[in-house]
A and B are shown apart, each in its own frame.
Chain A
Amino acid sequence: SQKIEQNSEALNIQEGKTATLTCNYTNYSPAYLQWYRQDPGRGPVFLLLIRENEKEKRKERLKVTFDTTLKQSLFHITASQPADSATYLCALRNYGQNFVFGPGTRLSVLP
């Protein structure tokens, strides 16, 4: 069956460190993979999209990698700040289908 897993329900890191979140999938052949941030009581906010033929994408302190052989995406936040604390969701889509979301990882950046 198809499944999307994100490394853990919660991740705590110290301010200034790099946070690394993982997204693993099974029985998908995604053409696109997105990462979103969600704060309590709010809808997800789009951060980055990476295509199947791209290995890496960067945006300011954010970096996403996409390994279709390992069926995994990694999401990095460098020089993390307490304001980065939120739930991060990966979402992927096969060709011709709509995005499917993972369960999310709740990140807490401790001052």
Chain B
Amino acid sequence: EAGVTQFPSHSVIEKGQTVTLRCDPISGHDNLYWYRRVMGKEIKFLLHFVKESKQDESGMPNNRFLAERTGGTYSTLKVQPAELEDSGVYFCASSQDSYYGYTFGSGTRLTVV
């Protein structure tokens, strides 16, 4: 089965610009998660979708971040406008059961200059 796919793998943008990250989960996985690692720190939870609904978005840092999951399939994470502190690696993960192991994508490395 295909794994979790994230696009792009790398993105370099200027402060104030907009960037949209995309995640294609494993087919049939209702649960989709966004995490990020900034400045070599721990991987931090951002939000959790169950199908197209946001189950938990308590980790979203501020209203510059907007996540959507169209029709319960792929998800996008938009950062607008980007700030320097948004630089890091953004991971997407999916799972059939929210209590079991997650399958992660390879991440998108975002650099804001």
User: Contact residues of A with B, CB < 8 Å?
Assistant: 4, 32, 34, 36, 41-47, 49, 89, 97-104
User: A43-B104, A46-B103, A98-B33 are known contacts. Are A103 and B56 too (CB-CB below 8 A)?
Assistant: no
User: Contact residues of B with A, CB < 8 Å?
Assistant: 4, 33, 35, 41-45, 48, 56, 59, 91, 93, 98-107
A99 touches B42 (CB 8 A): no
User: A100-B45, A101-B43 are known contacts. Are A41 and B99 too (CB-CB below 8 A)?
Assistant: no
A46 touches B106 (CB 8 A): no
Bound Cα distance A41, B89 (Å): 9
User: A43-B4, A98-B56 are known contacts. Are A34 and B101 too (CB-CB below 8 A)?
Assistant: yes
B101 touches A46 (CB 8 A): yes
Bound Cα distance A49, B95 (Å): 13
Which residues does chain B contribute within 8 Å of A100, judged by CB atoms? 45
User: A32-B99, A98-B33 are known contacts. Are A43 and B41 too (CB-CB below 8 A)?
Assistant: no
User: A43-B107, A49-B100 are known contacts. Are A98 and B41 too (CB-CB below 8 A)?
Assistant: no
Which residues does chain A contribute within 8 Å of B42, judged by CB atoms? 4, 101-104
Q: Could you list 19 examples of A-B contacts with CB < 8 Å?
A: A4-B42, A32-B99, A36-B104, A42-B107, A43-B4, A43-B91, A43-B104, A43-B106, A44-B91, A46-B102, A49-B100, A89-B43, A98-B48, A98-B56, A99-B102, A100-B45, A101-B42, A101-B44, A103-B41
Nearest Cβ distance between residue B90 and chain A, in whole angstroms?
10
A42 touches B43 (CB 8 A): no
Which residues does chain B contribute within 8 Å of A49, judged by CB atoms? 100-101
Which residues does chain B contribute within 8 Å of A47, judged by CB atoms? 101
